[in-house]
Amino acid sequence: MKPLNRVLIFLTALVLAAVTAWLGVQVASDREARAARFYEAVVKSRLAEVNGLLSAHLASVRESLTPALTAAGAQILAGDPSGGEGRRFVMTNPLVKGILVQDEKGVTFHPGQNPTGQELDFLDRLGAIADSGLLLAEMNPADGNDRATLAPGGWHPWFRETGLGLILWARLPGGGVAGAEISMARLKADFICLDPASAAEKASEDMRISILDSRNSPILSWGGFSPRQGTRPFIEKSLDPPLSAWKAACHLSPDVIDANEKSRRISLSLILGLTLLGLFGSALFIYREWNREVLEATQRVNFVNQVSHELRSPLTNIRLHAELLDNSIADDDSRGRERLEIIGAECRRLTRMIDNILTFGRQQRNAMDLIPSEWVPDRVVESTLELFGPGLREKGIEPSLRLFAERPVMVDKDALEQILGVLLSNVLKYASCGGFVGVSTGQRGDFTEILVQDHGPGIPLKSREEIFLPFVRLKDGIAEGASGAGIGLSIARELAVLHGGGLSFGFFGEKTGVRSFEGSPQGAAFLVQLRTPAPNRDEADGDSKTPAGSNETGGEAG
Amino acid sequence: MNNRNSVYSRISEYIGVHEIALFLIFVGLYLPYSHGESVEVVAGFSNPVVLAGGKTLNYLKIGVRGLESQSRRARTPVNVALVLDRSGSMQGAKLEYAKKAAIEAVSRLDRRDFVSIVAYDDNVRVIVPATRAGDAGFLSSRISEIGPGGGTALFAGVGFGAAEVRKNKNPEIINRVILLSDGQANVGPSSTADLADLGSSLVKEGITVTALGLGLDYNEDLMRNLARSSDGNYAFMATPGDIEKTLDTEFGDILSVVAQEAEVTVNLVGCRMVRGLGREVEISGNLVRGRLNHIYAGQEKYILLEVEVDAGPGAVPAGTRLPGPMGGDVLVTLRDMGTGESVKEARTVRISTTLSSAGVEEGIDKGVMVEVVKLLARENYRQAVNLRDEGRVEEARQILISNAGYISVSNTLLMSNDLAKAGLDNDSAASTLDDANWNSTRKQMMERDHEWELQLR
C-alpha cells in the first residue's frame, strides 16, 4: 500500500482514539464529580443529624434546669444567709458546677454569707464574666426591644484556657440574672451516651464521625474506620450555637474513594483499551485486507504472465511448423494454403495477445524497457498492416493509407508494432461495421505521429479517457461478443508514453503532423505520438535538420 | 377472770410502773446510739483539754464506722457497671486475667443485683447492657468474647458505664462503676481535670466510680482523681495476677455497704477552721461540710479538721470570765441501706481548758492523734514524692528523714504499730530515692501511700 494511505489510516485511527479518550475522560470526571457530590450529600446529612442530636439535647437540658436555676437565683438574690437553696441547686445537679447571681446593677451575690472554697474557686473562674456584666448584656440586648419580648434565658458560651465553656443564664423575676456554670465534662459524657445505637448505625464501617472541641481534639466519635493521625477530614462543619466553637467532622476511608476511583479507572481504561484495540484492529485489518487483495491481484497477474510465457513456446512452434508446411505443400493446393493462412493468422493473433499480456505484466511490475533502433516508421506500419490485411479484408475493409513518415529514426519497432496492433485489432473488433480504416503517418521534428481512423460506432464522450484504463471494455452494445481483456489501450498508451509521447483519442486537425481523413458522422480516431530522435550518424541528414513545427508531409491530399 | 388478766396482774406484781418507765428510758437513751443500726458515729478532739491562754492547733475527728453485725442481714443489692479497657496495650495476659477476674467477680452477684459490662478501645461497646445478674453462664460467655483493640477512650468508657448504671439507679441500692485500665487515656477528653469533673458530677447523682490501675503505664493522677472526686475506691495492681484479688476486694466492698450518702456537717463553736486533712471539705465560715459517701461493714471513714483554738488571754485569776464554749456541733446524715431510711446522728463535742500541761497530756485522745500524725506524715511523704519528681532529690530526702523523726517522736507517746511502720517506711524511702528506676520506686511509694489512704477510706 502506498505510504500515504498507510499514514492516513494510522492518523484516522489516532484521531478517533483521541476523541474517544477525551470523551471517556469527560464521562469519568463527570461521574467522579457526581460521586463526590453524592458522598458530600450523604456525609453532610449525617453531620446535620448529629448536630441536631446535640442541639436537641442542649435544649432539653435548658428546659429541665432553667426552673430550678431561676428559683435558686431568686433565693440568693433575696438574701438567704444560709445559701441553702443555691447550694442545693449546685449539689444536686450533676451538670452544674456553680451558680452566679447578679442584680440589675451588676452586683454579684454569693450563696450564703461565707462562700466555701469551691465557691471561691468558681468565682475566680467566672470573675471576668461577673465583672464585665456579660450576662446582664445577654439579658438586655442593645437594640432596646420591648420588654415583653426579651429572652427569658439562654446559653452563654465563654472561652477559657481549657476550651469552650457554657453558662446557662436565666432572667430572674424582679430583675437580675442567674447563671449556672455547666460541667463540660459531664456534658461531653452525656453527648457520648446520646442514643449510641442509632448514631453508630448512622456511621458505617467506612466513615468516622467525630465531634471536635475548640482545640480540635475529638470529644466523641462513632464509626468503624480509624483515620491516620493528622488526616484532614472529608467534611467539617461547625455545630449550631452555643456550641459553634465545636465542629462535627467526618473522615471517609480512602478505600471508599479509592475503590470507586479504582473501579472507575479500571472501567475507563477497559473501555479506552477496547476502543483503541478496536480502532487499531480495524485499521490493521483494512491494511492487511488491502495488501491481501493487492497480493492476490499480483498473484493473478503473475499467474497470467506465467501462463502466457508458457504459451509462447508452443505457439512459436506452431507458427514455425505452419510456415514450414507452407513451403512443403503443393502450389496448387489452394485449399491447403488457405487453411495455413488461417492457422498463421490465428497464431499471429495469439502471439499478439500474449505479447500484450506480457507487456501488461511488465507494466505492472514497472519492468517495461524500450530498445530503440533505426527504422523507417512507414515500413513498420506497412508490415503491421500486412499482418492485419487478411483479417480486414475478411471484414470487407481495405485500409486507406497516407504515409509520410519516410525518415529513418530511432524507434522501438516492437513497441510500435504492438501499439498499431492494438489499434487495428480494436478496429476489427469494434469498428468493422464502419467498413473503413484509415492510417496516416507523419513526422515533425523528433516526433513521429500516426493516426488511425475508423467509421465505427465511435466512443461516447464520457468514456474517452476511461477506455485507456486497464480492464475497461465499453459495454453498451459495442463490445457484445467481442473478446479481449480490455488491456490493449492501456498498454498502448503506456508504451507510447514510455516512448516519450502519448496516445490519445480524437481529431486534432492541423495541429498534428498527419493529414487526417475526413471524419464521418461517427467513428473513432486514435493518435499515436512517439518521440523518435534521429539516429546518431556522422553525416548530417538533411531531414534531421528539419526545424520543429514544419510540416514535412507532402502536399498530397488523400 | 381470764388468762390475760391473770398474766398481766402477775407481771404487775413484780414490776412496777417506775421500772417500766426506767426500762423505757434506757431503751430510749440507747436508741440514738444504736439507732444507727448499721453505723457507729464517734466524734472527738485530739486534745480535748487545752492549756488556758493562747492559741493552739487542735484536731477534730468525726468517724463513721460500719457495723460488722450488719453484714449478716440481707445485703444491699448492687447496681454495678464493669468498664474494661481492651486497648492494644491490654492484649495478651492482661486482658485474659482481667476477663477471668471479671467473670469471677460477677459470679458473686445474684438476681437482686443489676450488672452491665462495657468494653472500650477507640470506640465503646456495651457488651452486656444493664440487666439482672444471676445468669453467670451468659455473663461469662459475653465477657470471654472481648478481644483487644486500638486506642483508649477511657472517658467515653466511664460515660457509658455510668449510663448503664443510671438505667437502674436507685438510692436504696449501691450504684457504682468499676473501671479497669492499664494505660493513658488518649481518645476523647483525657485530662485529669476532665475525669475529675466527670467524677464529681456522677457522685452528685449517687454514682461512684472505682478506678483500678494495672501495670506501670497508666496515668496515676487521672485514675486516682477520678476515684477520689466520685468517692470511689482506687487500687494499683502491679501484675495481671493481682487483678482477681483486687476485683474481689472491690466487690466485697460494694456487697458490704451498710450506709451511703453519708455526710458530716460541723458547726464550729469558739474555734476557727484552718483546713480539712486527707479529705475534701467545704468550709463556709464556721460551717464545715464533708462527704463520706459509702460506709462499709467493718470499716471506718472519718473527717479530720484542723482548727485553731483560742483559749483566752493566758492564765487568769480565778473568777475571770472564761472564754465561751469551744468545740463543735456535729451532724451526720446518711441513708441506712438496711432500713432504706435516712438517719441523722448528732454529737456535741467540747474542749475544756486547764492550767497544767500534765492535764493536757493526759487528755490526749490517742486514737485521734494517731490519725492526725498519719495524715500529717502522709502530707510530707507526698510532698517528698513531688520534689523527687522535679529532680530535687536532696530536698526530698531531707523531708523524708525529718518526717521519720516527727513520727517517731509522736509515737513515743502514742505507741501505735501503724505509726511505727510508717516511720520505717519513711526511713527506707529516704534511702531509695537515688534508685535509677524512679518510676517503679514511685509506684511503690504511692502504693504505700495508698494503703494508708485505704485506712482513711
Q: Which of A88, A116, A160 to mutate to test the interface with B (most CBs of B within 10 A)?
A: A116
B284 DSSP assignment: E
Count how many Cα atoms sit within 13 Å of the Cα of residue A179 in the half-sphere of its side chain: 27
Integer CA distances (angstroms), B6 to A350, B3, B9, B19, B293, in order: 173, 5, 5, 20, 53
d(C-alpha B388, C-alpha A313), whole Å: 126
Region of poorest pLDDT, from A225-239, A256-270, A308-322: A256-270
Mean pLDDT in residue range A538-556: 45
- Which pLDDT score is estimated for A148? 46
In the predicted structure, residue B330 carries a pLDDT above the cut 50:
yes
- Cα radius of gyration rounded to whole Å, chain B: 26
Mean pLDDT in residue range A117-129: 76
- The distance of Cα B142 from the centroid of its chain, to the nearest Å, equals 33
d(C-alpha A170, C-alpha A150), whole Å: 11
- Residue type for position B118: V
SS3 B14: helix
Range list of H helices, B353-416 = 357-363, 366-389, 393-414
Task: Decide if B272 touches A, using CB distance below 8 A.
Answer: no
Which of B159, B195, B283 is nearest residue A116 as measured by Cβ atoms?
B283
The mean pLDDT value of chain B amounts to: 82
d(C-alpha B339, C-alpha A146), whole Å: 56
In the predicted structure, residue A484 carries a pLDDT above the cut 60:
yes
Residue B426 or A132, more confident: B426
Cell numbers given for B357: 500541761
Mean pLDDT in residue range B43-58: 85
In the predicted structure, residue A47 carries a pLDDT above the cut 90:
no
Q: Which residue of B has its CA nearest to A186?
A: B198
Cell numbers given for B205: 447523682
- Which pLDDT score is estimated for B29? 53
In the block, which residue shows the cell 398474766?
B7
In the predicted structure, residue A169 carries a pLDDT above the cut 50:
yes
Q: How many CB atoms lie within 10 A of CB B247?
A: 27
In the predicted structure, residue B321 carries a pLDDT above the cut 60:
no
Look at residues B376, B323, B316, B325 and name the one whose alpha carbon lies nearest to residue B351. Answer: B325
* Entry pTM: 0.63
* A residues 259-278 lying closer than 8 A (beta carbon) to B: none
Shortest distance between the Cα of B130 and any Cα of chain A, in A, equals: 14
- Which pLDDT score is estimated for B12? 62
In the predicted structure, residue B256 carries a pLDDT above the cut 80:
yes
d(C-alpha B209, C-alpha A322), whole Å: 135
pLDDT band at B231 (very low <50, low <70, confident <90, very high): confident
In the predicted structure, residue A435 carries a pLDDT above the cut 80:
yes
In the predicted structure, residue A552 carries a pLDDT above the cut 80:
no
Could you tell me if A393 and A477 are in contact, meaning their C-beta atoms sit under 8 angstroms apart? no
- Residue type for position B266: V
Cβ–Cβ below 8 Å for B188 and A97: no
Shortest distance between the Cα of B285 and any Cα of chain A, in A, equals: 5
Q: In A, which residues are within 8 Å of B175 by CB distance?
A: none
Cβ–Cβ below 8 Å for A192 and B198: no
d(C-alpha B297, C-alpha B70), whole Å: 7
- Which pLDDT score is estimated for A556? 43
Contacts 24+ apart (CB under 8 A), A163-167: A163/A213, A163/A214, A163/A215, A163/A245, A164/A213, A164/A214, A164/A243, A164/A245, A164/A246, A166/A242, A166/A243, A167/A100, A167/A126, A167/A129, A167/A135
Region of poorest pLDDT, from A113-117, A211-215, B194-198, B412-416: A113-117
- Total beta-carbon pairs less than 8 A apart between chain A and chain B: 92
- Which pLDDT score is estimated for B320? 53
Cβ–Cβ below 8 Å for A192 and B155: yes
Q: What is the DSSP string of A413-472?
A: HHHHHHHHHHHHHHHHHHSGGG--EEEEEEEETTEEEEEEEE-SS---GGGTTGGGSTT-
- Which pLDDT score is estimated for A81? 64
| Side-by-side strand order, sheet with A153-160 | A108-109, A96-102, A177-182, A163-171, A153-160
Mean pLDDT in residue range B435-440: 72
pLDDT above 70 covers a percentage of chain A that reads 82
Cell numbers given for B301: 471513714
In the predicted structure, residue B195 carries a pLDDT above the cut 80:
yes
| Of the ranges A24-33, A73-82, A427-436, the best mean pLDDT one | A427-436
Task: Decide if A185 touches B, using CB distance below 8 A.
Answer: yes
Mean pLDDT in residue range B402-416: 86
Shortest distance between the Cα of B150 and any Cα of chain A, in A, equals: 9
d(C-alpha B29, C-alpha B131), whole Å: 44
- Residue B269 is inside which H or E element, if any? strand B257-269
pLDDT band at B33 (very low <50, low <70, confident <90, very high): very low
| Of the ranges A43-47, A177-181, B82-86, the best mean pLDDT one | B82-86
The mean pLDDT value of chain A amounts to: 79
Q: What angle do CA A415, A416, A420 make, to 5 degrees?
A: 120
Task: Decide if A193 touches B, using CB distance below 8 A.
Answer: yes
CB-based burial, A315-353: b 16+ in 10 Å, e otherwise: beebbeebeeeeeeeeeeeeeeeeebeebbbebbbbbbb
In the predicted structure, residue A547 carries a pLDDT above the cut 50:
no
Mean pLDDT in residue range A536-555: 48
In the predicted structure, residue B24 carries a pLDDT above the cut 70:
no
Q: What is the DSSP string of A7-59?
A: HHHHHHHHHHHHHHHHHHHHHHHHHHHHHHHHHHHHHHHHHHHHHHHHHHHHH
Cell numbers given for A546: 528539419
In the predicted structure, residue A551 carries a pLDDT above the cut 70:
no
In the predicted structure, residue A159 carries a pLDDT above the cut 60:
yes
Which of B124, B193, B201 is nearest residue A94 as measured by Cβ atoms?
B201
* A residues 201-220 lying closer than 8 A (beta carbon) to B: 217-220
Q: Which of B197, B274, B288, B333 to mutate to test the interface with A (most CBs of A within 10 A)?
A: B197
Look at residues B162, B118, B148 and name the one whose alpha carbon lies nearest to residue A185. Answer: B162
In the block, which residue shows the cell 432500713?
B339
Residue B216 or A154, more confident: A154
Residue A206 or B69, more confident: A206
- Which pLDDT score is estimated for B451? 66
Q: In B, which residues are within 8 Å of A95 by CB distance?
A: 201
- Which pLDDT score is estimated for A140? 64
Task: Decide if A165 touches B, using CB distance below 8 A.
Answer: no
- Which pLDDT score is estimated for B84? 93
Q: Which of B87, B186, B198 to mutate to test the interface with A (most CBs of A within 10 A)?
A: B198
Task: Decide if B188 touches A, using CB distance below 8 A.
Answer: yes
pLDDT above 90 covers a percentage of chain A that reads 10
Region of poorest pLDDT, from A549-553, B130-134, B374-378: A549-553
In the predicted structure, residue B31 carries a pLDDT above the cut 60:
no
Q: What's the pLDDT tens digit per position in A295-350? A: 888 788 778 778 888 888 888 889 888 888 888 887 788 888 888 888 888 888 88
pLDDT band at A546 (very low <50, low <70, confident <90, very high): very low
Q: Which of A90, A161, A192 to mutate to test the interface with B (most CBs of B within 10 A)?
A: A192
- Which pLDDT score is estimated for A450? 92
d(C-alpha A499, C-alpha A490), whole Å: 14
Mean pLDDT in residue range A273-291: 83
- Residue type for position A191: F
Task: Decide if B159 touches A, using CB distance below 8 A.
Answer: yes
Contacts 24+ apart (CB under 8 A), A547-552: A547/A445, A548/A444, A548/A445, A548/A446, A549/A444, A549/A445, A550/A444, A551/A442, A551/A444, A551/A513, A552/A404, A552/A407, A552/A442, A552/A443, A552/A444, A552/A513
Region of poorest pLDDT, from A395-404, A542-551, B249-258: A542-551
Task: Decide if B189 touches A, using CB distance below 8 A.
Answer: yes
Mean pLDDT in residue range B385-401: 86
Q: What angle do CA B269, B272, B273 make, to 5 degrees?
A: 110
* A residues 82-121 lying closer than 8 A (beta carbon) to B: 83, 91-95, 97, 112-119
| Of the ranges A227-236, A509-518, B18-27, B195-204, the best mean pLDDT one | B195-204
Task: Decide if A221 touches B, using CB distance below 8 A.
Answer: yes
3-state secondary structure A269-304: HHHHHHHHHHHHHHHHHHHHHHHHHHHHHHHHHHHH
Shortest distance between the Cα of A61 and any Cα of chain B, in A, equals: 15
Range list of H helices, A126-234 = 127-132, 134-139, 184-192, 196-202
Shortest distance between the Cα of B165 and any Cα of chain A, in A, equals: 12
Mean pLDDT in residue range A147-151: 57
Look at residues A537, A502, A530 and name the one whose alpha carbon lies nearest to residue A443. Answer: A530
Q: What is the DSSP string of A177-195?
A: EEEEEE-HHHHHHHHHTSS
State the angle between helix axes of B438-456 and B417-432 in degrees (0 to 180), rounded to the nearest 10. 160
Task: Decide if B180 touches A, using CB distance below 8 A.
Answer: no
CB-based burial, A16-51: b 16+ in 10 Å, e otherwise: bbeebeeebeeebeeebeeeeeebeeebeebbeebb
In the predicted structure, residue B28 carries a pLDDT above the cut 60:
no
- Cα radius of gyration rounded to whole Å, chain A: 57
Could you tell me if A361 and A304 are in contact, meaning their C-beta atoms sit under 8 angstroms apart? yes
Mean pLDDT in residue range A246-268: 75
Region of poorest pLDDT, from A199-208, B157-166, B211-220: A199-208
Could you tell me if B373 and B404 are in contact, meaning their C-beta atoms sit under 8 angstroms apart? no
- Which pLDDT score is estimated for A273? 81
Task: Decide if A237 touches B, using CB distance below 8 A.
Answer: no
Cβ–Cβ below 8 Å for B193 and A219: no
- Which pLDDT score is estimated for B17? 64
The answer, yes or no, to whether ipTM is higher than 0.85 is no
Which residues does residue B140 pair with via DSSP β-bridges, in sequence order?
Answer: none
Query: Length of chain A in residues, anyone?
Result: 558
Q: What's the pLDDT tens digit per position in B206-219? A: 899 999 988 877 88
Residue A521 or B388, more confident: B388
Residue A480 or B291, more confident: B291
pLDDT band at A490 (very low <50, low <70, confident <90, very high): confident
- Which pLDDT score is estimated for A331? 78
Look at residues A257, A232, A361 and name the one whose alpha carbon lies nearest to residue A308. Answer: A361
In the predicted structure, residue B422 carries a pLDDT above the cut 60:
yes
SS3 B12: helix
Q: What's the pLDDT tens digit per position in A180-204? A: 899 999 998 888 877 644 555 555 6
- Which pLDDT score is estimated for B34? 41
- Residue B274 is inside which H or E element, if any? strand B271-277
d(C-alpha B383, C-alpha B364), whole Å: 28
- Which pLDDT score is estimated for A150? 64
In the predicted structure, residue A549 carries a pLDDT above the cut 50:
no
Cell numbers given for A74: 431568686
Q: Which of B195, B201, B289 to mutate to test the interface with A (most CBs of A within 10 A)?
A: B201
d(C-alpha A454, C-alpha A434), whole Å: 7
Q: How many CB atoms lie within 10 A of CB A480?
A: 7
Region of poorest pLDDT, from A54-63, A389-398, B17-26: B17-26
Residue B424 or B12, more confident: B424
Cβ–Cβ below 8 Å for B197 and A91: no
Mean pLDDT in residue range B50-73: 79
Cβ–Cβ below 8 Å for B284 and A83: yes
Q: In A, which residues are within 8 Å of B191 by CB distance?
A: 162
- Residue B272 is inside which H or E element, if any? strand B271-277
In the predicted structure, residue A258 carries a pLDDT above the cut 80:
no
- Which pLDDT score is estimated for A211? 87
Region of poorest pLDDT, from A110-114, A199-203, A221-225: A199-203
Mean pLDDT in residue range B40-56: 86
Contacts of B99 (CB under 8 A, 6+ apart): B84, B143, B144, B146
Beta strands in B24-97 (DSSP E): 39-45, 49-51, 55-66, 78-85
pLDDT above 70 covers a percentage of chain B that reads 86
- Which pLDDT score is estimated for B259? 86
Q: What is the DSSP string of A83-122?
A: -HHHHHHHHH-TTEEEEEEE-TT--EE-SSSS--HHHHHH
B348 DSSP assignment: E
- Which pLDDT score is estimated for A195? 62
